[in-house]
Copies of this chain bind each other. A is one copy, B any other.
């Protein structure tokens, strides 16, 4: 029997596969396809204090093995999220990770404070890495000092565990990772999208309404693997890995790199059944490769003699 369970702060998961923020709404749409309880956990779209209208369309473009998005954090705001969107997930028995975004530190603190008191959720994911908004977001993700302060301030606001979502668009991601760990983060999510752009040859203008966008999908998986490999050796808090995951093999690769759980984003779009398919494939694939427990995978690409082993290979 393959043991798929993983335990992360605030999230006891039946399996290591969860959804990535922004790629699964608040779960409702995909609940038409399968029982959401199949998932290890669910991460919802970014919530901000005020409603956000997002960027003008077009908001997505396809690239080689990837896609660019410039949604721009469109969301109904925390009040409506609490009243209309999050309650839907109360009917399910799975950890809910709420992605939070803002322009300045107080925004994050406000949203976390409000949601901690008003909503049923398992943990927060601080999106300090959205490439698609002009102020806030990404700047926290590239400056260790503000990332540290933000994390600390949010930790003081809530009892819920805090995951900080890191941007790959930095010179040294381990520096930011260490800063937020020091700030008290319970875990990390990585990676957010890679800044990119596509030009429409007909108009000779940037294709996306917001010009630049965030690159996701299989194209960025090698970048994610490298960063998870480096960061997992630099910190001791768990990592939710993401970036181009579309198969059980990809889940295993990100976990071997150092992730404790793995989120699936872009892959949901081509195949709405991506998550249950991957979860279904995992046990056989792990067995083939000689793994008995999902927890054993974490960091094994660099940590060969981690002990105690929960099982021997």
Contacts and interface: CB of A to CB of B under 8 A. Distances in A.
A223 B169 CA distance: 10
Contact of A63 (B197, B201, B222, B249): B222
Nearest to A206: B301
Interface stretch (A4-12, A41-49, A213-221): A213-221
Contacts of A196: 222-223, 225-226
Interface centre among A199, A201, A215 (most CB of B within 10 A): A199
Contact of A256 (B63, B169, B199, B217): B199
A205 interface: yes
Interface residues of A, number: 43
A257 interface: yes
A199 B169 contact: no
B225 A289 contact: no
Contacts of A256: 199, 201, 204
A202 B225 CA distance: 16
Contacts of A63: 218, 221-222
25 contacts: A63-B221, A63-B222, A64-B65, A64-B217, A65-B65, A169-B171, A171-B171, A195-B223, A197-B222, A197-B225, A197-B226, A197-B257, A198-B222, A198-B225, A198-B253, A199-B229, A201-B252, A204-B256, A204-B300, A206-B301, A211-B229, A212-B226, A212-B229, A219-B219, A219-B222
